[in-house]
Each structure stands twice: as structure tokens, then as C-alpha cells.
Amino acid sequence: MAIDQAMMGRRVSYSRAFAGLMMRDLYVLRREIGPFLVRVCMNPLLFLFVFTYIMPHMSGGAALNPTASMAASAGANFSTVLLPGLMAVAIMFSGIAAVALPLAQEFGVTREIDDRVMCPLPIEAVAIEKIVFSAVQSLIAAGIVFPLAYYVPSTPVAAHVTSWWFLAVVLVLASLLAGALGLTIGTAVNPKQIGLIFGVVLMPITFLGCVYYPWTALEHIHWLQLGVLVNPIVYMSEGLRASLTPALGHMNEAIILGMLVFFLVLLTWLGLKGFRRRVVG
């Protein structure tokens, strides 16, 4: 009985400490809401404005945009193709920026991470809090980008949600996956080199992540269609495409969910292992 009470007390203590870290991070986010909104909105807004508003109004705009021609041949328009892809990019970048960039500072010369791990929580729980908090930011980012991608394009977006539960599951898994990827990157890369990651790693996986085209459109480049399957962003994009624009070709929904869970478990394990190594070492 005494052991059970001690375990219950420890769980309550852990829950309060975890909630305290979340409240602290949410307070900091509220104070920096302006830069957060700019970071989330600027890239998709510019992309949408140029490719789905300016170019359709230009003479021969479709000829300048091969992806638009591909979308048209599939019975859709480029705006419809972009909606789920840009939401996936917003989730990914927000999640990674919310974890990897702060870790670069906390693992730096000042070692601010030591103050955080002094809270009454296991080291791994501190890292999990970072993933959960980054997922909250990713969900907010997806909610912000959706109206931009829906209303900015000059051509109407054909979005139709066939299953709200599937959309909710994809959003949650994708947001947690983005945070786990950020934790893995933040603990594996030297803090001084974190800026290089956005050019060397994030840009390639974005352009090869089926963001600007459906995965099924790669059927004529079979080696590439198979190669991109190691990219977790593919399953974020395809999951949102299956949820929001099911008329376009997309992967099997069971495969999407299975691979999102697989990469979430894998990257969380790698991130937790790297976080403990960096903290203890």
C-alpha cells in the first residue's frame, strides 16, 4: 500500500512538473506571438501569391508552371494540389523550429538546458515535453495556413473532408512527428551548424516530400517514387491530401497512418537517446 501511494505521489509530481514546463513555454510563445506568426505565414503566403495568384493572371502562366499543367491534366488545379502540401510544410517547419533552434541555444556555451532538466522529471520526460509543445505550435501553424491556402489563390480550391477523424489523427501524428524530427536534429547536430541543416537537409526533403505534387504523379519516375518513401514528409503531405483533397491520387490511408506511427516512434527514440547523451555528456 505504501509503495502504491509513493508511486501515485510521484505520478502527480511528474504531472505537475510537466504541466509547469508546458505553461512556461506557452507563456513565452504568447509573448513572442508576432515573430511566430511571421515565421509561419511568410513562406506559404509568398508561394501562394506568386504561383496561384500572380502567374494565373499572366499570359502563358500555365506554360511557366509545369506542375499546374500536371494538376490540370488530373482534373484539378495547382491551388488544390498545394493546399495539403503547404499545410504539411507549415507543420514540419514549425515543429522543427520549435525544438531544434531552442536546443541549439540551450546546448550552447551557456548550457541553459541544465536549468530545465533540474525540474522533478526524468530527462526523457523533459524531451517529450518539447515534442508535445512543438506539436501544439504545428497545429496552430496548420490552422493559420489553411485559410491562406484556401482563399489567396485566384482559382477555387476543391477541398472536401470525407473523414474528420482521419484528418484529426493525421494532424496530430504529423505534428508530433515534426517535433520528434526537430528533437533528433537538435541533438545530433552541433549547435554552431544548426543553420546549415535548413539548407542541406530540410530543403531537399521538402522538395522531395510530395508537397508540390501527389506521390502518385511520380509513377513515371519509378525509382524516385520508391526512393522518397524514406522521407517522413511524404506521409504528412499524403495524409493531408487524402483528408482534404481525396479526389486527387494519394497513398492508401492505412499505409499513411502506419508509416506516420513508424517514423514517430523511430525519431522519438533517436531524439530521446540523443537528448540524454547531450545532457549527461
What confidence score (pLDDT) does residue 236 get? 94
Mean pLDDT of 111-139: 82
Instruction: Tell me what percent of the residues of the chain surpass a pLDDT of 70.
Output: 80
Give the least confident one: 27-36, 150-159, 204-213. 150-159
pTM of the model: 0.84
Q: For the segment 228-271, what is each residue's pLDDT rounded down to a tens digit?
A: 999 999 999 999 999 988 877 788 899 999 999 999 999 999 99
Q: What is the mean pLDDT of the chain?
A: 79
Instruction: Tell me what percent of the residues of the chain surpass a pLDDT of 90.
Output: 21
What confidence score (pLDDT) does residue 11 get? 64
Q: Where are the domains of the chain?
A: 37-280
Output 251 or 194, whichever has higher pLDDT.
Answer: 251
Task: Report yes or no: 118 and 180 within 8 Å, Cβ to Cβ.
Answer: no
Q: For the segment 13-42, what is each residue's pLDDT rounded down to a tens digit?
A: 667 777 777 787 777 778 878 877 777 777
Reading the block at residue 5, the C-alpha cell is 501511494
**Could you tell me the pLDDT band of residue 6, with boundaries at 50, 70 and 90?**
low
